[in-house]
């Protein structure tokens, strides 16, 4: 976008940010200075080949170039505004929503492909169904953005990704149009079925629509919910937004599901009242003729429907859902026709509508094509690291590849939504030794346990928030049996713009309470490589370590493999006599920042790296308590984690009775909403300034502590 910063009365300084919707990258700007008495409200810039209007106001602030004209979207105040729109107007509305959504996502620097696949589907759903009376549930947050634009949240969507701005997820308290929170996947069918059963108990007639996609379609809860829906036979509609064109488990080997005039006609036929009534009549007649005839007719029906459907479509029939599809997810006319027929059916039981969409869709206007493609590329590249910046994942991949050269039995299992770029490199290097199972975390954990029992060394790579879904398997299939699975917990701690959806706040607590689990966390990339080497050598019990998102803290260059460290042994980084800071994981770096701040106040600080939450370094803790009167522990995790283990030891060892004054610093007991990582750490009270202020307060220097927080 183009942002104009008005610094009245001194002048106007145009700034070019990223991919402009109106100006070419070659555009050159100059500084225009105005005397203080001049008033201005509009400037017209004429770069080569482009004309753009920039509105200015006489105060400090950032302003954006004008968006594409959206006359129909401008008139949409609620889904009721869609009811009287013609098919042509609905198509135009979809293009306007796509334009607006692309602009918002580019501004927030978020990938837009997944969001754009559901634009026509969202328009069709709100044209046919009557939300909020009818319940519309979504599985993942990214596909709700078009839905939000159509349900009166256009203005707050402009703050997507900002601190105190619009949350990426759709919590149920945000709007009456969101009957259940989305964001983490897999829950829409289960929640929708519960609402459908509750509706039936209360004698209501509202309709329930649950939208799922390819990634969530791999999770076990989805099939558990569909099986239960088929058994209960409650009326509900499940829409599969299939942007991969296949239900085949190996998408790269699967044939594309064809969308043509024939498939469109068959989908309309399957959803029509006449066909449904004929089918039900045939069932009644064959049952009267005899059981053998009914079973034969059922097999013929299944075979015929399997022939016209894509591979795997009969699975939904076996689960008890009536399958309709495939439907072109970008053809408004077909979507409205099928959804109207489905919505009008009474006592039909659960229905699955298979909608085929594309992640890269061309719209009619050539100029809009170019802008949308440019924005999509820019947003997609926003997840890649800038030149010269290495992440913890980069370091982990290098260390694991190095260890794999020494240990030929090392294999990798990955689960969760999507993969970081560095893990794609690991996949290419490991080839057949890398297993990506998608959003099937429970399977990933037990699969890794089986690999370990077979004599291999599995490294199970799962983001912290997704590992929560596999906790039962971690307990019973791994820890209880002391199976040597090595858990690599990525995206640990706060995760910036993803807010509480993917926040890894709880893994320290729920992993360290397991009797046989070794729990550790690296303070930097060098320690991370050492812990990879340590984990590779542990063959008698499970082990886990976590690392955060973000860039490295020590070095920007590659290094060799790590050196195994002694299990349960921490280290002292700096020594002082006044107070001890004991950091766990990445918070050690903030402890070092606090030490530098405290040195300016004449406070001598010991900074120690715990390394291990379980087993604790008892010798290190006793040393810190013996040589200091004050101890502060710091972790980027919830209450009940590292600090809880320290408190348990200090109390049982009599250290608290001996006079040590101890303060824990953890994540607060609430969910921290989206913001930049620095802003989130400040909200959580985990910055170097907060740690230093806590230390000064503990030392009785409250006034100086307050000065640090100003």
575 alpha-carbon distance from chain centroid: 40
| pTM tops 0.95 | no
Tell me the CA distances in angstroms from 292 to 282, 285, 567, 584, one per residue in order.
14, 12, 67, 68
- pLDDT value at residue 63: 33
How far apart are alpha carbons 125 and 412 in whole angstroms?
41
Please say whether the beta carbons of 213 and 139 come within 8 A. yes
How far apart are alpha carbons 289 and 293 in whole angstroms?
7
Q: Give the side-chain half-sphere CA count within 13 A for 331.
A: 19
Q: Give the side-chain half-sphere CA count within 13 A for 477.
A: 19
DSSP labels, 5-40: EEETTTEEEEEE-SS-SSS-TT-----B---TT---
How far apart are alpha carbons 283 and 26 in whole angstroms?
68
DSSP state of 235: -
- pLDDT value at residue 247: 38
Nearest to 414 by CA among 392, 383, 447, 389: 447
Tell me the CA distances in angstroms from 425 to 391, 393, 401, 403, 615, one per residue in order.
13, 11, 10, 15, 33
Show Cβ contacts of residue 138 under 8 Å, excluding neighbours closer than 6 positions: 144, 147, 170, 182, 188, 211
3-class state of residue 386 by DSSP: coil
Strand duo 410-414 + 434-436: pairing: parallel
Nearest to 395 by CA among 521, 533, 528: 528
* Peptide bond between residue 615 and the one before it cis (omega within 30 degrees of 0): yes
Say if residue 274 is exposed, middle or buried (CB neighbours under 10 Å; 0-12, 13-18, 19+). exposed
Please say whether the beta carbons of 489 and 504 come within 8 A. yes
How far apart are alpha carbons 617 and 620 in whole angstroms?
5
Show Cβ contacts of residue 290 under 8 Å, excluding neighbours closer than 6 positions: none
- pLDDT value at residue 260: 59
Q: Give the angle subtended at the CA of 487 by the CAs of 482 and 492, to the nearest 5°.
A: 140
How far apart are alpha carbons 7 and 33 in whole angstroms?
10
* Peptide bond between residue 326 and the one before it cis (omega within 30 degrees of 0): yes
- pLDDT value at residue 169: 54
Please say whether the beta carbons of 241 and 117 come within 8 A. yes
264 alpha-carbon distance from chain centroid: 34
DSSP labels, 586-636: THHHHHHHHHHHHHTTT--EEEEE--EEES--HHHHHHHHHH-SEEEEE-S
Mean pLDDT, 10 residues at a time, the chain of 710 residues: 36 38 38 38 37 36 55 89 92 91 75 79 94 91 88 81 56 77 81 94 93 82 91 92 59 56 60 62 63 61 60 78 87 92 81 85 44 41 50 93 94 88 90 91 96 97 94 96 97 89 94 97 95 96 94 62 93 96 96 96 96 97 96 97 96 92 96 89 95 95 89
Nearest to 178 by CA among 212, 151, 218: 151
How far apart are alpha carbons 677 and 392 in whole angstroms?
15
How far apart are alpha carbons 340 and 268 in whole angstroms?
10
- pLDDT value at residue 261: 62
- pLDDT value at residue 695: 96
């Amino acid at each position: 976008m183009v942002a104009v910063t008005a610094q009245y009365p001194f002048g106007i300084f145009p700034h070019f940010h990223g991919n402009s919707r109106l100006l070419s990258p070659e555009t050159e700007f100059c500084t225009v200075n105005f005397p203080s008495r001049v008033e201005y409200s509009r400037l017209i810039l004429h770069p080569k080949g482009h004309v753009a209007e920039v509105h200015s106001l006489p105060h400090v602030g950032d302003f954006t170039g004008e968006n594409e004209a959206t006359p129909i979207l401008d008139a949409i105040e609620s889904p009721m505004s869609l009811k009287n729109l013609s098919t042509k107007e609905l198509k135009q509305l979809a293009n306007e929503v796509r334009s607006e959504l692309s602009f918002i996502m580019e501004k927030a620097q978020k990938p837009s492909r997944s969001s754009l696949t559901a634009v026509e589907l969202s328009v069709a759903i709100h044209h046919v169904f009557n939300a909020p009376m009818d319940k519309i549930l979504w599985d993942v947050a990214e596909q709700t953005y078009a839905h939000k634009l159509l349900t009166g949240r256009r203005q707050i969507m402009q703050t997507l990704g900002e601190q105190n701005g619009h949350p990426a997820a759709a919590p149920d308290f945000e709007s009456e149009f969101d009957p259940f929170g989305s964001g983490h996947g897999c829950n829409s069918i289960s929640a929708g079925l519960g609402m459908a059963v509750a509706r039936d108990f209360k004698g209501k007639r509202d309709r329930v629509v649950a939208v799922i996609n390819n990634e969530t379609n791999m999770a076990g809860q989805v099939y558990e919910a569909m099986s239960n829906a088929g058994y209960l036979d409650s009326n509900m509609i499940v829409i599969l937004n299939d942007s991969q064109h296949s239900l085949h488990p190996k998408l790269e080997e699967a044939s594309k599901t064809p969308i043509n005039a024939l498939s469109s006609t068959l989908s309309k036929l399957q959803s029509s009242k006449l066909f449904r009534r004929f089918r039900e009549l045939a069932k009644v007649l064959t049952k009267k003729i005899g059981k053998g005839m009914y079973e034969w007719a059922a097999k013929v029906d299944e075979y015929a429907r399997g022939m016209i459907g894509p591979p795997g479509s009969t699975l939904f029939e076996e689960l008890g859902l009536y399958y309709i599809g495939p439907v072109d997810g970008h053809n408004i006319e077909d979507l409205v026709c099928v959804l109207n027929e489905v919505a009008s059916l009474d006592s039909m039981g659960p229905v699955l509508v298979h909608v085929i969409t594309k992640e890269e869709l061309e719209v009619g206007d050539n100029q809009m094509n170019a802008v949308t493609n440019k924005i999509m590329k820019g947003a997609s590249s926003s997840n890649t690291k800038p030149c010269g910046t290495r992440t913890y994942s980069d370091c982990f991949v290098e260390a694991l590849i190095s260890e794999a050269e020494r240990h030929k039995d090392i294999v990798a299992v990955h689960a969760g939504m999507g993969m970081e770029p560095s893990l794609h490199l690991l996949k290419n290097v490991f080839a057949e030794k890398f297993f990506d199972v998608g959003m099937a975390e429970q399977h990933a954990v037990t699969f890794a346990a089986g690999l370990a029992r077979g004599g291999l060394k599995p490294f199970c790579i799962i983001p912290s928030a997704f590992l929560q879904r596999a906790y039962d398997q971690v307990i019973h299939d791994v820890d209880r049996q002391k199976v040597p699975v090595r858990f690599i917990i990525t995206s640990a701690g706060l995760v910036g713009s993803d807010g509480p959806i993917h926040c890894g706040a709880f893994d320290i607590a729920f992993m360290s309470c397991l009797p046989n689990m070794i729990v550790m966390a690296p303070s930097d990339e060098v320690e991370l490589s050492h812990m990879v080497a340590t984990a590779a050598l542990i063959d008698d019990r499970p082990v886990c370590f976590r690392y955060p998102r973000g860039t490295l803290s020590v070095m920007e260059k590659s290094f060799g493999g790590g050196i195994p460290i002694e299990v349960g042994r921490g280290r002292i980084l700096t020594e002082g006599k006044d107070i001890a800071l004991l950091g766990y994981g990445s918070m050690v770096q903030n402890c070092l920042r606090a030490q530098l701040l405290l040195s300016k106040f004449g406070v001598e600080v010991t900074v120690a790296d715990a390394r291990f939450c379980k087993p604790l370094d008892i010798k290190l803790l006793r040393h810190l308590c013996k040589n200091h009167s004050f101890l502060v522990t710091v972790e980027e995790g919830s209450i009940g984690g590292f600090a809880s283990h320290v408190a348990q030891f200090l109390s049982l060892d009599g250290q608290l009775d001996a006079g040590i004054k101890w303060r824990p610093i953890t994540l607060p007991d609430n969910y921290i909403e989206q913001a930049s990582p620095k802003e989130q750490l400040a909200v959580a009270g985990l910055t170097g300034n907060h740690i230093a202020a806590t230390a000064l307060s503990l030392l009785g220097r409250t006034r100086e502590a307050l000065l640090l927080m100003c």
